[in-house]
Structure 1
Amino acid sequence: MSIIYLRRSVRKYQKKDVGDEIVTELLRAAMHAPSAGNAQPWHFTVIRSEEKKQRIAEAHPYARMVLQAPVAILVCADPSLEIYKGFWVQDCSAATMNILLRAVELGLGAVWCGVYPNEERVEAFRKIFGLPEHVVPFSIVPVGYPAETPKLVDRFKLERIHYEVW
Structure 2
Amino acid sequence: MAVTGESKVMDAILNRRSVREFTDRKISKEEINTILNAGRWAPSGLNNQPWRFIVVRDPENIHQLSECTHYSGTVAGAPLLIAAFLDTENSYNRTKDIQAIGASIQNMLLACYDLGLGAVWLGEILNQNEKVNSILQCPSKLELMAVLAIGKPAPGKRTSSRKDLSELAFEEKYGQDWKE
Counterpart of 2:160 in structure 1: which amino acid? V
Residue 128 of structure 2: aligned partner: 121
Distance 2:50 2:16 in 1: 25
Q: CA RMSD in A?
A: 1.6
Return the match for 1:69 from 78, 90, 100.
78
* The structure with more radius of gyration: 2
User: For residues 63 and 94 of structure 1, do their structure 2 counterparts lie closer, same or farther at Cα, with a shift above 3 Å needed?
Assistant: farther
- Residue matched to 1:164: 172
Q: Write the distance in 1 (CA, Å) between the matches of 2:76 and 2:169.
A: 39
1:41, 1:81 within 8 Å by CA — same for their partners in 2? yes
Deviations 1:32-70 (A, max 9, x none): 111111100111111111111111111111253121111
In structure 1, the partner of 2:68 is: 59
Residues of 2 paired with 1:149 and 1:107: CA distance? 14
Gaps of 5+ in 1: none
2:160 and 2:70 map into 1 onto residues whose CA distance is: 25
The answer to whether the Cα contact below 8 Å between 1:6 and 1:152 also exists between their aligned partners in 2 is no
Does the CA contact (< 8 Å) of 2:17 and 2:160 recur in 1? no
Give the Å deviation of 1:85. 4.1
Q: When the two structures are superposed, what TM-score results if normalisation uses the length of structure 1?
A: 0.91
Distance 2:41 2:171 in 1: 31
What does 1:126-137 align with in structure 2 at a 5 Å threshold? Answer: 126-137=133-144
The match for 2:91 is 82
Q: How far 1:156 moved relative to its partner? A: 4.6
Quote how far apart the aligned CAs of 1:128 are.
1.0
Question: 1:160 Cα shift?
Answer: 2.0
CA distance in 2, matches of 1:125, 1:49: 14
**1:79-131 CA distances to partner (integer Å, 9 max, x unpaired)?**
21123344221111111111100000000000000157x4x421111111111
- Structure 2 length normalisation: TM-score? 0.84
Specify the alignment match of 1:147 in structure 2: 154
Would you say the 8 A contact 2:42–2:104 is kept in 1? yes
* Paired residues for 1:19-58 under 5 Å: 19-58=28-67
Q: Secondary structure at the match of 2:32?
A: helix
Give structure 1 regions of 4+ aligned residues with deviation exceeding 6 angstroms. Answer: none
Relative contact order, higher structure (CA 8 A, sep 6+)? 1
Question: Is contact 1:46–1:73 with CA below 8 Å preserved after alignment?
Answer: yes
Aligned length: 164
